[in-house]
Structure 1
Amino acid sequence: MKKNIAIIMGGHSSEHDISIKSGNVVYRHLSREKYQIFRVHITKEKWVYWDDTEQEHPIDKSDFSVIVDGSKIHFDCVFNAIHGTPGEDGLMQAYFELLGIPQTSCDHYQAALTFNKRDLLSTLKPYGIKCAKSHYLNSGDAINTGEIIKKVGLPCFVKANRAGSSYGISKVYKEEDLEKAVQKSFQEDDQVLIESFLEGTEVSVGVITYKGKVKVLPLTEIVSENDFFDYNAKYLGQSQEITPARITATQEKNVVQLAEKIYKTLGLKGYTRSEFILLEDEPYLLEVNTTPGLTEESILPQQAQVAGIGLEELFDSAIEEALR
């Protein structure tokens, strides 16, 4: 009997449209022979199942079910394709854990922790994970630009603490531009992370649970045509994403070992994609994404392809792991 699979997509953040693209790619590539597949669009206003004619069927939030043609449908597994809140910050994970419905991403605590860049880096530092010098701000805090620059130096990066896809991020070269960059980040989140600039090679590494084992995918080198790996570089083709990365064997070994260590230390599962800057042979962690992009052009599917894993197999493996 076919399993009923709900692909959740959309969400409440600026990444809504990117999530729709990821969810639709999963929808196209999952096996119809194994699964009955349902696209579920989640926004602040409504949760609905989109059928093939784009007609909407309301989701019953009390048990995450839907009535179609007079029949009530329950789901055997949820494929999480929501980037940002509420799919990447632990809210949906906690909801499905309470309902006892398997889902493809990590558990709620790990999702909340990794989505909060500040707390993630603070948690990993005692394990010897290196990262940039940083300064934190909450909405309403006094912004002492001189003190901040003295701590992190110039240029520096100003980031929304809980946002993805490079929304709310700026690279600042002059002290007089710092406050404007902070206000830009506050448009995305009420917490801001200011980090020192690390000049080195940027690499992205996917770590997944595949056939019951942790698997590190081939590394991708990021070469942005812009000042940094911003939204346009990520989604509008203004970057080179080179897989496998053009780095030394020592650098590759160090990144692979560190990415696997982070995955296991945090108790992650499902798909993750971590970003590092290599300073000579030493990798410095930037962030960990637990619901990475899943379009054909996204980094993790590219890495899987180089590893000999097609999209149908990649997506099917996530469901199989969730159902174990």
Structure 2
Amino acid sequence: MKAKIALITGGYTGEAEVSFKSSAFVNSQLDHDKYDIYLITVTKEAWYYEDLDGKRHPISKADFTLPLHGDILTFDLAFIMVHGVPGEDGRLQSYFDLLDIPYTSCDALTSALTMNKGYTKAILSDIPELHLAKSVLLFESQRPEALKIVESNLSLPYFVKPNAGGSSIGMTKVKESAQLQEAIDKAFDAENTGKQVIVEEFVTGREFSEGIFRNSKGELVVLPATEVRTTREFFDYEAKYVPGLTEEITPADLTVEQQERAARILREIYVRLNCKGMVRVDFFLENDTDKFYFIEINTIPGQTPQSFIPQQVRAFGMKEGDFYGELIETALQSK
């Protein structure tokens, strides 16, 4: 009997648009002869499965079952493809833990922690060979004095971003003090990002993104890195999802020593944060020092056709469908 997989998409933030594209690509690559795939949309208004006729069938939130054509379908696994809230911050993971349904992503604690950029940096602060840009974490209660806090602790230019956001939504590069207040307000007001803001000193260097996952044999596999070169001021939402604005080189032009150093760092990050499934780590290689600077970790990385992970999987010599199948089989083993 084929395993029934709930491929979950949507979400409660502006990242839902990306989630729909990611889940559509994953669905197109998975082996439907091996798995029964049901695309489940999660929004604030409803959770549902839409059949081929366009009819929506509500999910029972009490036990995550699907009443369909007189039957009650249960799922063997949740393949979570929801970027942002509630798929990347631990909420869905907690829900599935309560129902004893395995899933493909990191667990609830790791998901919640890694959505908080400031807290994540604190956990990773002593990893050998990994460097962290100087930063301040701002809470809503500090909003009236945020400008003073930033300017008394950091030097221009800054990156200002929601502490619990993704897809570069609400992010601004600030090159002069007059821009700072608007950037802070933009980050604080980004929808469903926790009303916290992180401000970091800018690191001048090459930008990279690299995936790592644990396969069904229990091995940690580091994928080839991607270098990001954008015509934008920085790698913002448009640069990520508008064709032609960014050049992405996979595999990246790194020396053997740099590749090995990056792999050591990624494995340590994965273990230190108790990650599961696939994650993606973004980092800078500083121009003058050759030091790797941590940017952030993404526990539900994008899977659109142009996303980094699919590029890296292909560069690794693996088919995307086999890769997603490996994530499913690894998660099923944990049941």
Q: Shorter-chain TM-score category?
A: over 0.9
Is 1:254 equivalent to 2:261 in the alignment? yes
Deviation per residue, 1:111-153 (Å, 9 max, x gap): 0011110110011113344211001111241335354234221
Contact between 2:127 and 2:265, CA under 8 Å: does it hold in 1?
A: no
Hey, what does 2:169 align to over in structure 1? Answer: 167
- Where do 5+ consecutive residues of structure 1 fail to align? none
Hey, what does 2:187 align to over in structure 1? Answer: 185
Deviation at 1:315, TM superposition (A): 1.0
Cα distance in 2 between the residues matched to 1:257 and 1:47: 40
Contact between 2:10 and 2:17, CA under 8 Å: does it hold in 1?
A: yes
Hey, what does 2:252 align to over in structure 1? Answer: 245
Is 1:313 equivalent to 2:319 in the alignment? no
Cα distance in 2 between the residues matched to 1:51 and 1:119: 41
Counting only pairs closer than 5 Å after superposition, residues 4-153 of structure 1 correspond to structure 2 as 4-128=4-128, 129-141=130-142, 142-153=144-155
Counting only pairs closer than 5 Å after superposition, residues 228-239 of structure 1 correspond to structure 2 as 228-237=234-243, 238-239=245-246
Cα distance in 2 between the residues matched to 1:144 and 1:138: 9
Cα distance in 1 between the residues matched to 2:329 and 2:51: 24
Cα distance in 2 between the residues matched to 1:19 and 1:111: 17
Contact between 2:127 and 2:268, CA under 8 Å: does it hold in 1?
A: no
Contact between 2:19 and 2:82, CA under 8 Å: does it hold in 1?
A: yes
Hey, what does 1:195 align to over in structure 2? Answer: 200
Is 1:289 equivalent to 2:269 in the alignment? no
Deviation at 1:50, TM superposition (A): 1.6
Contact between 2:216 and 2:327, CA under 8 Å: does it hold in 1?
A: no
Deviation at 1:296, TM superposition (A): 1.3
Contact between 1:254 and 1:282, CA under 8 Å: does it hold in 2?
A: no
SS of equivalent residue, structure 1 residue 260: helix
Is 1:272 equivalent to 2:273 in the alignment? no
Compute the TM-score of the two structures, normalised by the length of structure 2.
0.94
Instruction: Give the letter for the 2:322 counterpart.
Output: E
Hey, what does 2:227 align to over in structure 1? Answer: 221
Cα distance in 2 between the residues matched to 1:177 and 1:76: 50
Aligned pair in 2 of structure 1 residues 107, 147: CA closer, same or farther (>3 Å)?
closer
Cα distance in 1 between the residues matched to 2:90 and 2:301: 14
Deviation at 1:53, TM superposition (A): 2.5
Hey, what does 2:160 align to over in structure 1? Answer: 158
SS of equivalent residue, structure 2 residue 296: strand
Counting only pairs closer than 5 Å after superposition, residues 200-211 of structure 1 correspond to structure 2 as 200-211=205-216
Contact between 1:254 and 1:281, CA under 8 Å: does it hold in 2?
A: no
How many residues align structurally?
324
Contact between 1:63 and 1:99, CA under 8 Å: does it hold in 2?
A: yes
Cα distance in 1 between the residues matched to 2:265 and 2:307: 22
Aligned pair in 2 of structure 1 residues 160, 144: CA closer, same or farther (>3 Å)?
closer
Segment of structure 1 superposing worse, 191-200 or 246-255: 246-255
Instruction: Give the letter for the 2:19 counterpart.
Output: S
Instruction: Give the letter for the 1:217 counterpart.
Output: L
Instruction: Give the letter for the 1:231 counterpart.
Output: Y
Deviation per residue, 1:38-58 (Å, 9 max, x gap): 000001111001222221100
Aligned pair in 2 of structure 1 residues 56, 254: CA closer, same or farther (>3 Å)?
same
Cα distance in 2 between the residues matched to 1:70 and 1:144: 57
Is 1:300 equivalent to 2:309 in the alignment? yes
Instruction: Give the letter for the 1:257 counterpart.
Output: R
Contact between 1:146 and 1:175, CA under 8 Å: does it hold in 2?
A: no
Segment of structure 1 superposing worse, 189-198 or 52-61: 52-61
Deviation per residue, 1:83-126 (Å, 9 max, x gap): 00100000000111111101000110000011110110011113
RMSD: 1.2
Compute the TM-score of the two structures, normalised by the length of structure 1.
0.97
